[in-house]
Structure 1
Amino acid sequence: MDLPTRRTTMSVPPRSIDWRIVLASIVTIGVALLFWGSPFLLPLKLFVVLLHEMSHALAAWLTGGAVERLIVTADEGGLAFTRGGNRFLISSAGYLGSLIWGVVLMQLSLARPARRRVALRMLALLLALAVILSVRDPFTLAMVGATVAAALLLARYGPPRWQQIVLWLIGSFSALYAIIDIGTDILSRGPLAGVPFFGTVTFQNDAEILAAETFVPAFVWGLLWITLALAVYLWNLRQLATRR
């Protein structure tokens, strides 16, 4: 996947389509849909689960709450134990935070090499802070530690094209996680329960926590989130695939 670097140039017609971005997007979406349940994508999915839980944690900290601990499990589960703060924003921050992470990282994948290196180092710093402040269990510690080391090594020694591809993949899968996981974890409990792809799940999810706070059904929150996530994801792809 050979992605371009965004540059401003007078010779490029406004709003021209960059078909490399279109192709990269189609390939990424296809891989996600075909192999979402495959062990092939497990490392990437564990990382985006971590971003999801970190989004809950950031919302708690920003609204005056505290984070007791973050957990990511080998079966792609995750928990953020928070205390205080704004429950509405904390519960909403998981999937919407995953979407924001995805959009930002996809945009940074097309930035100049120096900005990509800064992005990788900042990501490593944020993960390290999460470890210091809220990670206690061995699996999450090992996973985050390995990710921090990989991000720093990639920023220092990785070829610019590798940095670009890694940021693109992490960003794309984080944004797609916000879409696909809403379907499998939330919409599966409403009228779509038992429908192929949506399936049926039994654990409590973010929308059910929010439903208990607002008395708005979890299925409605799921529809709102997935509509917003799809709109933002498609808008982002349009921005990336066109040049001024």
Structure 2
Amino acid sequence: YLFARDFQTQVTPNETQRNTLIVAGVYIIVIGILWHVPYLNKILYPFKLLTMSHAFVGLLTCAKIYSIELDPDEGGSTRMKGGISWLTLPAGYLGSSLIGACFIACGFNTNASKVASLVMAVFFLFTLWWARKDWLTWLLILGMSGLTVLFWFVGGGIALRYFVLFIGVMSCMYALWDVVDDTLARKVNTSDASVFAERYGCCPSKVWGFVWLVVAFIFFALGVLVGLVAFKQNVEQQKADAAGFIPVPTLKSAGTSVIPNSRAAWAVALLAGVLELLL
């Protein structure tokens, strides 16, 4: 009983967390609308195409990655040899949902969002190397990097927090809808679930798709729960914490000139901007 009461207290959102949940809910609605509206769905392409899970799981299981090819309609295709296929095949769905869940949790806190953006920069580096011959990948990642740098400087990192939250929600929703579309709503013979069922038998592709859908949803829910439990700071506390963690220059209230908090702040902010732009 005490554990249940303590858990309920931990997951009960404060005002800042409630606002974050409301924003996440709005993201889900907006993404759902844009996803199914012709022409408007192109807005989601830069976020929809950031699919790297196959390659990273392949790398971790000693596969040789040849290339990543991106398509606005179908997402990503990874060419690799070796690795452990029963891990690499579901990595596209489950990896996206796991990464999305981590970003959702980080979206509850400004400093955590800063860390998430640096991790994302590392992902971008690997992706650019594997897809170095794909001009679409370069354009997308340069655009995403520009947005990330911009949001570092808005509201002391608050804008970055909501940007990271959006990427997390988008990744989770992409994984959930992709599983449904490829395995449950229609059968795609070239889908990862179909290949998995063909190689390992046991269950048809729709069953594997349903299992992966449940796991992806669990990741989504865990991302929200971790954010609620781990990051209880309100907006003022987050601003104070963010001011001392990879700080950025602040603007004068009556002008446009920049006042650095310190030389270190200038150096860190400039280095972050240059690195992101180079990515």
Q: Deviations over 1:93-131 (max 9, x none)?
A: 111011111111111112233x42232132123212221
Whether 2:185 is the aligned partner of 1:188: answer yes
Whether 2:126 is the aligned partner of 1:129: answer yes
Amino acid at match of 1:44: L
1:137-176 correspondence to structure 2 within 5 Å: 137-155=134-152, 157-159=153-155, 160-176=157-173
CA distance in 1, matches of 2:116, 2:218: 25
For 1:79, what is the secondary structure of its paired residue? Answer: strand
CA distance in 2, matches of 1:65, 1:167: 30
Q: What residue is the counterpart of 1:233 in the other structure?
A: 220
Runs of 5+ in structure 1 lacking a partner? 1-12, 191-201
CA distance in 1, matches of 2:194, 2:57: 18
Q: What residue is the counterpart of 2:199 in the other structure?
A: 213
- Corresponding residue pairs, total: 217
| More divergent stretch after superposition (88-97 vs 177-186) | 177-186
RMSD of aligned C-alpha atoms?
2.4
Amino acid at match of 1:48: K
1:1-244 correspondence to structure 2 within 5 Å: 14-18=10-14, 19-38=18-37, 39-51=39-51, 54-113=52-111, 115-155=112-152, 157-159=153-155, 160-189=157-186, 202=188, 204-215=190-201, 216-241=203-228
For 1:36, what is the secondary structure of its paired residue? Answer: helix
Amino acid at match of 2:113: R
Q: What residue is the counterpart of 2:6 in the other structure?
A: none
Shift of 1:229: 1.6
For 2:190, what is the secondary structure of its paired residue? Answer: coil
Higher relative contact order (CA 8 A, sep 6+): 1
CA distance in 1, matches of 2:97, 2:211: 13
Fraction of identical pairs, as percent:
24
Shift of 1:241: 4.5
CA distance in 2, matches of 1:78, 1:100: 17
CA distance in 2, matches of 1:149, 1:112: 18
Shift of 1:45: 4.2
CA distance in 2, matches of 1:112, 1:123: 15
Query: Does structure 1 retain, via aligned residues, the 8 Å contact 2:98–2:220?
Result: no
Pair 1:87–1:162, CA change in 2 (3 A):
same
Q: Deviations over 1:66-103 (max 9, x none)?
A: 11110112334321111111111110111101111111
Pair 1:42–1:56, CA change in 2 (3 A):
same
Pair 1:110–1:226, CA change in 2 (3 A):
same
Runs of 5+ in structure 2 lacking a partner? 1-8, 233-279
Shift of 1:28: 2.2
Amino acid at match of 1:211: A
Amino acid at match of 1:74: P
Query: Does structure 1 retain, via aligned residues, the 8 Å contact 2:11–2:225?
Result: no
Shift of 1:23: 2.1
In terms of Rg, which structure is larger? 2
Query: Does structure 2 retain, via aligned residues, the 8 Å contact 1:70–1:136?
Result: no
Pair 1:111–1:22, CA change in 2 (3 A):
closer
Shift of 1:41: 4.5
Amino acid at match of 1:204: T
Query: Does structure 1 retain, via aligned residues, the 8 Å contact 2:108–2:228?
Result: no
